[in-house]
Structure formats: structure tokens, C-alpha cells
Structure 1
């Protein structure tokens, strides 16, 4: 497995086009693997995520089974002149396997995850259920909490001294996830775009959010599957990739 980081040159026209179209960026990411054909439904899963750290600081992260070649992305959305120097090729790829193998029960990490928190509802009796996005931070956090144990981790809880409310509850008696857990939800985005370039275009609408927080490893093997296979829906459109970093 490999983890790749690519810095996007937000001043480039090509970069702005990719940043506003998850469909185009997905196609560009998949074009980084010369051994994978677009029609190959059995190709290994490729996860990607955009981190908007600042207006001119946007990073693309990719987790893949094989090493990517992002020359085309450098030409469209990077710094082609700087990339001519072998010391600064425009992207950095490292083996992910050694890190995955070091995960151990009880170890604590900072995490980041961009996801598409959804649930299924039925508005009327007899109607089929419909996939619907969670729109409030409380329900978005609950979506992740509901998946933590089977995904191999546990979101860390704040100490009593860190909480603003007794037992992490609001004045109405309801649980306040933001006051109980070391987790924040931010950068909610509503995306709408057309899928496909030929024939009838299918409209796609997504709500994505980014989670930042701390977690404890409970099942290393399950967490490895989560880091490699992703979490939740809309993985082709930049959702599902969780990354870990040492707790500062």
C-alpha cells in the first residue's frame, strides 16, 4: 500500500477546474495508475481526499495499492517547472504498509476524515427508503460514533475538567458530542455536479464534512481495513479516507 501527497497550485486554471468538480478530480486520480483501465471493475480501491488548509494551501492525499504517476496532475494543477528537478517531482509517495503494521491496541492518534454522513429515511408508509444527508453537527458526529467500534477505533473522550457541561450534556439533558468527545466537525460542503461526459447526464448531490479529533486503537486489523478501504459512502468523490498522525 502507498500513501501519496500532492500539493495543488490553486493559481492554475486547471487546478480550479479540478477543485470544483469531484467527477473530474476522480478521473484525474484514477489516471495516475497506468496499469488500471477505466472499465476494470475489479481494480483495487483507490481513496483520495482534499485538505483545504488555507486558501492557497490545498493538498490531495491518495491511498492506493500501487505507486501512482501524477505527472499529468503536475502539468494541470501543479508546478511543472519546479517538477523538472528530481528533488521536487511535484508529489511525494511513501510505503504505507510499515505504518499500518505498527498499529497496536491502545495506541492513540490524531485523525482526519472527510466523509459523507447519510442515513435512510421513509417519509410515508409504504414508500422505499431514501438516502439523505445528515445536516447538523450533532447527527454527523453520531454517524461516526455509530461506526467507531466496528471500524477498529474509539473516539477519545474529554476529561471532566475539559468539559464545559456536566457529563457532556446540554441544559436540555441531551448529549452534546462536541463537549464530550475529542472531535470537531467542520468544513461542511454541499456539492452538486453531473456524472459522465456523454449521453444523459446524471446529477449527483453530496454533503461532505471533515472530522478532526483523537482516537484510540481497539482492533488494529479492523482499523487497517478502514484506512485502506475507506469509511462511508461517496468514496469515488473524495470521501472515506481517514489518516492518522501522532498526537501532539
Structure 2
């Protein structure tokens, strides 16, 4: 199955684009228009839609889809686009290959709430989803990286990525960006993670892992 990455240089002068930059749910709704054939009860997952906002004077959206995106779904003037096929990159991943990575993720864990066990099963509730920060967030990424086939090398830079949502309460997902270098240990697991995304909050701009030669 092909995978494509579309780079959208956002036009801040466009009213919808300007609103989307401040509203995660609205941005997700706009980017869902890129799916050529949204299907099933989980169209985002089925269409392989993942995205990340690269902030700056000229904000850039990186949008990954499981097929060639329908760029006519974006309103005219929303931004300049460039799409490329990631399949050659995915097939070139080999054990020991050094790479640079970037991911904006939503590090979370389940913490007990003190609720009593279920009277039928005897199991305790899973707990409350809690955002991880600082050293806990970094430890979360280190565990995730190992699981998806990356051996982290050197230090990992990480910083919080605020993403306000003034039109409605923000979701509990707080985004953290991780940058660093790694070597590949399991190409198959890594390709699966690249396609599916990592962690929670994928509809809010989390989970997209990108690689570049180190």
C-alpha cells in the first residue's frame, strides 16, 4: 500500500487556514477532506491520515495519507502544496541504518483513580489518562522508540508544543516534540509505526514520525 507525504505551506491570510492554526479539531476536519476515499467507521485510521504542524513565520503542515491525497479538497488559497511518495524510503529501511527523527506526540499513561474493582470481573478500572511531561515524557518516548524498532543515539531534544483551541475546550492531549538520532533495529516494526502513527491524539496532530538520513 502506498504512503504519501504532503507539505502544505499555510497561507496565514486565508480565513479558514488562520482559524485552523488555532483550532485542532477544525484543522483535523479540514485535512480529512484530503482523503480520496474515506471509508468505514474510522475513516481517519482507514485513510492513514496523520499530520504535524511545523510552526514558524510560514507554518508548514506535514500530512501523511495512505493514498494520493485529493488536493481539491482544500479550499483555494489555503496554502501551497507539494506531495511525494514515501514508498521508496520505506523499502530502503535496513537494520543499522542511521537516521534523524522527529515526532510530535502525546505522551500519556493511565493512573489509578481509586475506583473499586468491577463486581463481576474483579478487575480495577484502567484509570485516568494523564499527560506526561519533562523526564516522564522523555522516558515515554524512549520506550516507544524501542518498541517501534529504533535505537536512540545521542541526546534527545524535546519541547512542549502548545496548540490553543479557543473555540472549544482543548482535548487533554498535550503535545511534545522529540528530535534526535537513532539507528534502525527492526525495519518491519518501524514501517508499521510510520504508517499507523505512535501514541494517542492522532486526530489532533500527534503521532506522525518522520525520518531523514543522519
How many Å apart are 1:33 and its aligned residue?
2.1
User: Could you list the runs of 4 or more consecutive aligned residues of structure 1 that deviate by over 6 angstroms after TM superposition?
Assistant: none
String of CA shifts for 1:167-226, please: whole Å, max 9, x gaps. xxxxxxxxxxxxxxx21111332655778xxxxxx8633211111111110001111111
Match of 2:13 in 1: 11
Rounded Cα–Cα distance in structure 2 between residues aligned with 1:229 and 1:40: 13
Match of 2:35 in 1: 33
Match of 1:66 in 2: 67
| Secondary structure of the corresponding residue to residue 173 of structure 2 | strand
String of CA shifts for 1:123-144, please: whole Å, max 9, x gaps. 4363731001012x21110001
How many Å apart are 1:58 and its aligned residue?
1.1
Of 150, 162, 183 in structure 1, the residue corresponding to residue 156 of structure 2 is 183
Are 1:77 and 2:50 matched, yes or no? no
Rounded Cα–Cα distance in structure 1 between residues aligned with 2:103 and 2:42: 27
Pairing of 1:217-232 with structure 2 (within 5 A): 217-232=184-199
Give the unaligned 5+ runs of structure 1.
Answer: 79-89, 158-181, 196-201
Rounded Cα–Cα distance in structure 1 between residues aligned with 2:99 and 2:212: 6
The structure with the largest alpha-carbon Rg is 1
Match of 2:119 in 1: none
Of 96, 109, 113 in structure 2, the residue corresponding to residue 119 of structure 1 is 109
Of 63, 74, 83 in structure 2, the residue corresponding to residue 93 of structure 1 is 83
> What's the TM-score, normalizing by structure 1?
0.74
Give the unaligned 5+ runs of structure 2.
Answer: 117-123
How many Å apart are 1:69 and its aligned residue?
2.2
Match of 1:168 in 2: none
Match of 1:169 in 2: none
Structure 1 residues 105, 193: CA separation in 2 closer, same or farther (over 3 Å shift)? Answer: farther
Of 92, 106, 126 in structure 2, the residue corresponding to residue 102 of structure 1 is 92
Aligned length: 203
Rounded Cα–Cα distance in structure 2 between residues aligned with 1:57 and 1:190: 16
Structure 1 residues 134, 221: CA separation in 2 closer, same or farther (over 3 Å shift)? Answer: same
Are 1:138 and 2:146 matched, yes or no? no
Are 1:154 and 2:144 matched, yes or no? no
Task: Give the alignment's Cα RMSD to 1 decimal.
Answer: 2.3
How many Å apart are 1:57 and its aligned residue?
2.0
